[in-house]
Amino acid sequence: MVVQNPHPILWNDKRYHTLNYYLRKKFGQKVFKIPLDAGFTCPNRDGTLSTDGCAFCSARGSGDFAGNREFDVKTQFKKTKEMMHKKWRNGKYIAYFQAFSNTYASISHLQNLYESALEEEGVVGLAIATRPDCLPDEVLNLLNKFNKRTHMWVELGLQTIHNKTAQKMNLHYNYNTFLKALDKLNSRNIEICAHIILGLPNETREQMLSTGKEIAKLPLQGIKIHLFHLMENTPLAKANSNTLSFLTKEEYVDLVVDILEYIPPEMVIHRLTGDSPRKLLIGPKWSLNKWEVLNSIDERMKARNTWQGRLREI
């Protein structure tokens, strides 16, 4: 059954449930993430599954804006915190283990890294990004212990529900793998933020929309919607840099708004577009102006008089 509420739902001045709103409501002040590169690798890089990595993934394992792995977690944290405070004078912090697969190591190593981050003054939680096939029971049990001590969520890469696309992108996991990981995390009451990518090569608009609609039905607490970027030196760029097409800004904005209409109001929107370093980006170039994209999404929602969850299914 589709619910159509005639009255707009607002989260302060936004028509979708932003991470900023969620964290301010929970902690009573500004909370910002400190992205870290803790020196992890990935089974899709180290030869366990492949040595190529996901076809779209950069050399830094989706951590192009994280700290420098030449420094330890504490040093990275302090350097990034100082930079953040140039924009926000006061606030608390989420230690964000971003680059590569941040549950892919021994239990003792993981525990030491997570503990190190939590020891930093002002840290109120952890965000841990990983693959759905990097959550064995011993890691889940460790995450469960931290979840009982602090605010925590796991960022779980899905990208697409379409297994044919997943295979072409060399993910080495499929939708069923994601669902199994989702069940295991939910059984431990660990918050989950799923990542999807819009604009993956050869996917139709209908396929992308179906990924968004499917996500809306799952027991998730958050979602990140990324725009597909083609970056230099990725497997996809080396093989197809002159043959791939990209979504236009208008297509992307409309698709994001369409998906938001199905996302339940309680699900937190962690991101609505992706980032790529300017020097590595092949396309789409319009994505370099992130704030213009976000403003366009806001404007489109107002023009359509719509909001997150307007067409949600119950």
Task: Quick: pLDDT tens for 73-113.
Answer: 889 888 888 887 777 778 899 999 998 999 999 999 999 99
C-alpha–C-alpha distance, residues 26 and 45, integer Å: 37
Instruction: Provide the 3-class DSSP secondary structure of residue 35.
Output: strand
The amino acid present at 107, given as its one-letter code, is I
- Residue 255: both structure tokens together: 């698709």
Instruction: Let me know: does 13 contact 297? Beta carbons within 8 Å.
Output: no
> Is 60 exceeded by the pLDDT of residue 64?
no
> For the domain bounded by 19-304, which CATH number is listed?
3.80.30.30
Diameter of the chain by CA atoms? Answer: 53
- Domain map (residue ranges) of the chain: 19-304
- Candidates 155, 169, 173; CA nearest to 199 is 169
pTM reported for the whole predicted model: 0.93
Average pLDDT over residues 205-225: 97
Task: Quick: pLDDT tens for 263-284.
Answer: 999 999 999 997 788 888 999 9
Would you mind telling me the total number of residues written for the chain in this entry?
314
Average pLDDT over residues 120-127: 96
> Is 70 exceeded by the pLDDT of residue 129?
yes
More confident residue, 310 or 277: 310
Instruction: Provide the 3-class DSSP secondary structure of residue 234.
Output: coil
- Tokens 């030491």: give the residue: 112
More confident residue, 97 or 53: 97
The amino acid present at 219, given as its one-letter code, is P
